[in-house]
């Protein structure tokens, strides 16, 4: 069975969405972090489907997240790339995949993560966005140099 067919099967298992985003090939076990990045906790009545640790030819085990009625912004995709570097984003319109693309690691993420260093100038009331350079194994604040290598969701600024 090909990975594509596998994904299709699993997508069918949790039902198609009409309009929204299917995030496929999320690293196994990271689906809940993806939801955290998107600021989704179910409290607003969003229609969400999650498949976790399903077989994948490409990455072994993967998670799938389907979000009805929401298309991801580029900023959200940027941050997603940090925890789900193999993810593919399918934008669905009227039950069809209108756009499909893999996330790409940007060289920097701007205005997305807040710096965990309370003494960083970006935590002050200054007219600058946070800016993190993306490294091979994490991100680094461009201003104070602080490294973040895990728990990215704890530092998300995106609403």
Site residues (vs other proteins, CB under 8 A): 117, 119-128, 140-147
CB of 144 to other proteins, least distance (A): 4
Read off the tokens for 2.
């090909």
CB of 104 to other proteins, least distance (A): 23
Closest CA to 92 of 73, 67, 75: 67
CA distance 66 to 97: 12
CB of 126 to other proteins, least distance (A): 5
CB of 29 to other proteins, least distance (A): 25
Q: Report the C-alpha dihedral over residues 148, 154, 157, 158, rounded to 10 degrees.
A: 110
Helix (H, G, I), strand (E, B) or coil at 20: strand
- For the stretch 61-78, what's the b/e string if a residue is b when 16 or more beta carbons lie within 10 angstroms of its beta carbon? ebbbbbbbebebeebbbb
Strands 96-102 and 48-56 come out as unpaired
Helix (H, G, I), strand (E, B) or coil at 30: coil
Nearer residue to other proteins within complex by CB, 28 or 111? 111
Nearer residue to other proteins within complex by CB, 57 or 150? 150
CB of 115 to other proteins, least distance (A): 8
**In the block, which residue shows the tokens 């940090």?**
82
């Amino acid at each position: 069975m090909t990975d594509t067919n596998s994904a299709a099967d699993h997508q069918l298992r949790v039902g198609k969405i009409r309009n929204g985003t299917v995030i496929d090939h999320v690293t196994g076990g990271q689906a809940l972090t993806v939801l955290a990045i998107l600021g989704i906790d179910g409290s607003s009545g969003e229609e969400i489907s999650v498949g976790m640790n399903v077989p994948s030819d490409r990455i072994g085990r993967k998670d799938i997240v389907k979000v009805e009625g929401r298309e991801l912004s580029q900023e959200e995709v940027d941050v997603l790339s940090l925890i789900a570097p193999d993810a593919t984003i399918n934008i669905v319109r009227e039950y069809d995949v209108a756009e499909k693309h893999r996330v790409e690691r940007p060289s920097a993420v701007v205005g997305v993560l807040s710096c965990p260093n309370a003494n960083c100038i970006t935590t002050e009331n200054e007219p600058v966005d946070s800016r993190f350079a993306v490294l091979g194994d994490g991100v680094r604040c461009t201003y104070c140099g602080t490294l973040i290598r895990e728990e990215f969701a704890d530092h998300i600024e995106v609403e």
